[in-house]
């Protein structure tokens, strides 16, 4: 028996009524994403990719259609139910990092565990390990303003992974980073994907999308095309060589 897709959306639509005008941000979108895939979601401004991302991330609900995430029908859930699904099933990485400015790296990473009811000792241990896994074991007490952009994004990645979510949803994760730091973050996402994690990457940057194994392009609220990327761009070999030579991620900058 074939394994069920991790994500199934069927005839998803989303419209917004603004005054006397109705805007159809999504018209009819159907899509399956399997466990372990690395998918880039692309499209110009107004294509519907941000609306679709919000629905996939349980930040918004569709006007029509069905959304099933990891066997859970989430398309008609209440706000409280959606919040619980977000915390358990989805890890978010945002362009603007979305870190608490007055909290340490450790506390920022541990935050999702607070909402899961995990005790402080366990939270701190898991957050420490998560930071070590992204190369920031020596930055646990640093606040965001004491970190570089790349380090802040790695804290955000560690936070996204802390609850072992079904999917990592990365929204323009390199949008505020320079080219060299973008390479670092894409290498980190590649490493995470290689361990079996499912990643959905939302980007308007063609070279960033080329790191994904599948590219879904949107236009005018519809999927324009959906194809396997046969020429995946990878930075992993470069990072592997650096590690073998004992060079830290920081050396990329």
- List the chain domain ranges: 7-252
Domain 7-252 -> CATH class: alpha beta
**Residue 14, pLDDT above cutoff 90:** yes
Report the distance separating Cα 140 and Cα 128, nearest Å: 7
Return the pLDDT at 252: 36
Return the pLDDT at 247: 47
Eight-state DSSP code of residue 144:
G
Per mean pLDDT, which range of 5-14, 99-108, 238-247 is the poorest?
238-247
Provide the 10 A C-beta neighbour count for residue 248. Answer: 10
pLDDT digits (tens, 9 = 90+) for 151-195: 999 999 999 999 889 899 999 999 888 888 888 899 889 989 988
Question: What's the pTM value of the predicted model, to 2 decimals?
Answer: 0.87
**Residue 18, pLDDT above cutoff 60:** yes
What radius of gyration do the chain's Cα atoms show? 18
Return the pLDDT at 102: 94
**Residue 232, pLDDT above cutoff 60:** yes
Chain-centre distance for alpha carbon 241: 26
* SS3 state of residue 142: coil
pLDDT grade, residue 233 (50/70/90)?
A: confident
pLDDT grade, residue 250 (50/70/90)?
A: very low
Return the pLDDT at 117: 83
Q: First CA to last CA across the chain, in angstroms?
A: 48
pLDDT digits (tens, 9 = 90+) for 31-86: 999 999 999 999 988 899 999 999 999 999 999 999 999 999 998 888 889 988 99
**Residue 122, pLDDT above cutoff 80:** yes
Taking all residues of the chain, what is their mean pLDDT, rounded to a whole number? 89
């Amino acid at each position: 028996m074939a394994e069920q897709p991790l994500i199934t959306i069927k005839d998803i639509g989303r419209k917004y009524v603004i005054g006397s005008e109705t805007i159809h941000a999504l018209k009819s979108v159907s899509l399956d994403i399997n466990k372990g895939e690395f998918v880039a979601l692309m499209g110009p401004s107004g294509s519907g990719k941000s609306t679709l991302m919000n629905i996939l991330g349980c930040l918004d609900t569709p006007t029509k259609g069905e959304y099933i995430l990891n066997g859970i029908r989430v398309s008609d859930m209440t706000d409280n139910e959606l919040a619980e699904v977000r915390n358990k099933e989805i890890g978010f990485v945002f362009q603007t990092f979305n870190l608490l400015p007055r909290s340490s790296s450790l506390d920022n990473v541990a935050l999702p565990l607070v909402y899961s009811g995990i005790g402080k000792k366990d939270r701190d241990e898991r957050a420490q390990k998560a930071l070590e896994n992204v190369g920031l074991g020596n930055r646990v007490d640093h606040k965001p303003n004491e970190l570089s952009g790349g380090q802040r994004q790695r804290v955000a990645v560690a936070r996204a992974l802390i609850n072992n979510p079904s999917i990592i949803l990365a929204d323009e994760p390199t949008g505020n980073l320079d080219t060299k730091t973008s390479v670092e973050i894409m290498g980190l996402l590649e490493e995470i994907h290689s361990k079996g994690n499912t990643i959905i990457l939302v980007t308007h940057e063609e070279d960033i999308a080329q790191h994904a194994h599948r590219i879904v392009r949107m236009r005018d609220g519809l999927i324009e095309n959906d194809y396997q990327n046969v020429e995946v761009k990878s930075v992993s070999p470069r990072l592997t060589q650096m590690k073998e030579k004992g060079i830290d991620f920081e050396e990329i900058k």
